[in-house]
């Protein structure tokens, strides 16, 4: 998948735990893990808004588009055979 989620980078910058982040955003830690690990198929704008409010950042700080063909292998960032999940909040 060419969309990479950078929540871990923003959490590290703020020294915020996944548990605290999940609590403040209104997600379960399991759903934060789904987002962080690139298994999410979709994110609601309301969830993205809450994440940006908590982290005081822009959506582009959390999401990055990466051209799959840059390395020439055609391999996705997601990994091999990983099941994608939808995060509903």
Helix (H, G, I), strand (E, B) or coil at 19: helix
Model-level pTM? 0.75
DSSP string, 30-77: HHHHHHHTT-BS---HHHHHHHHHHHT--HHHHEEE--GGGGSS---T
For the segment 9-59, what is each residue's pLDDT rounded down to a tens digit? 999 999 999 999 999 999 999 999 999 998 999 999 999 999 999 999 999
Whether residue 74 lies inside any domain: the answer is: no
The secondary structure of residue 21, as a DSSP letter, is H
Neighbouring-strand partners of residue 4: 64
Q: Residue 62's domain is classified under what CATH number? A: 1.10.260.40
* Contact (Cβ atoms closer than 8 angstroms) between residue 29 and residue 54: no
Provide the pLDDT for residue 66. 92
Residue 48 domain boundaries: 3-67
Q: Which of 5, 83, 85 is nearest to 51 (CA)?
A: 5
């Amino acid at each position: 998948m060419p969309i990479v989620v950078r929540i871990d980078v923003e959490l590290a910058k703020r020294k915020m735990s996944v548990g605290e982040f999940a609590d403040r955003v209104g997600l379960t830690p399991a759903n934060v893990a789904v987002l962080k690990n690139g298994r999410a198929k979709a994110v609601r704008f309301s969830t993205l808004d809450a994440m940006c409010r908590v982290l005081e950042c822009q959506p582009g700080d959390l999401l990055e588009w990466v051209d799959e063909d840059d390395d020439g292998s055609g391999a996705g960032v997601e990994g091999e055979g990983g099941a994608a999940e939808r995060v509903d909040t």
